[in-house]
A and B are shown apart, each in its own frame.
Chain A
Amino acid sequence: MSFQQKNITVSLVNFTLILGFFLFRVIQMLQSDSFTSANIFRLWGITIGLAIVVTIIGTILTHIVSAIIEAIRTGKEDPKIEDFEDERDQLIDLRGTKVTYIVSSLGVFLSMLTFVFGQPPLVMFTLLIFFGLVAQTVGDISRLVLYRRGF
């Protein structure tokens, strides 16, 4: 597994966990009748903050763990990690980003549809971030599939 694949796997795990946390909190709010704008916007902030922090920490940890594994494998003190992106990595990343955009565009459209059904803006905002997280997760999955299957 290449460094890029490891990075994507870490991102996929992180965003799946964040999505799980987000859904858990929303369900909790719905059950306890605390599905209010103040709570939802707080959850927005926490989710976005978590996504940024976890992405940074995930990337750093992937570097460290890859270096440790490479050092054990090669026996060198200063191992070389192939963390640069070549043309294949860039193409796969581009295709993954395309999938992310398609899913998030669909998500925005579906979120806007809630207005048609007379739902309050709160529902739209909740669905927006939900589809944002789903889009990132699906994009990561498509990247991993492209790495395994080839194109």
Chain B
Amino acid sequence: MGTSRISNNIRKLRFNNGEMTQQQLAEKVGVTRQTIIAMEQGKYSPSLELAFRIALAFGVPLDEVFSYDPETESN
């Protein structure tokens, strides 16, 4: 448990968006900073709605933020 099959580029996208902080992103998408940290560490897979909100916050399509790897060991 703990390793998700869903990986993300949130960290990279934050830095590409004027070095946006985790707190700023959290406020933009309406979650706590801890949830952003958990997502960046691959410890939490967000709901579809939150995933869309994050993509919208960066102004990129969903598949540029999240990717699904069926080979990754999960649970």
Contact = CB atoms under 8 A, between A and B. Distances in A.
A81 to B, nearest CB: 11
B31 A86 contact: yes
A86 B43 contact: no
Tier of interface size on chain A: 10 to 19
Contacts of B42: 150
A86 B35 contact: yes
B47 interface: yes
A70 interface: no
Nearest to B38: A150
Contacts of A151: 1-2, 43-44
Contacts of A150: 1-2, 4, 38, 41-44
Contacts, number: 44
Contacts of B34: 2, 4-5, 82, 88, 147
B62 to A, nearest CB: 17
B2 A2 contact: no
Interface string A67-99: 000000000000000101011110000000000
Contacts of B46: 87-88
Contacts of A88: 31-32, 34-35, 38, 44, 46
A80 B43 CA distance: 26
A48 B2 CA distance: 36
A151 B33 CA distance: 17
Interface string B9-39: 0000000000000000000001111110010
B33 A82 contact: yes
Contacts of A89: 32, 35
A149 B43 contact: yes
B56 interface: no
Contacts of A84: 32
B2 A149 contact: yes
Given A86-B31, A88-B38, 11 more contacts: A2-B34, A4-B32, A5-B34, A86-B30, A86-B32, A88-B35, A88-B44, A88-B46, A150-B1, A150-B42, A150-B44
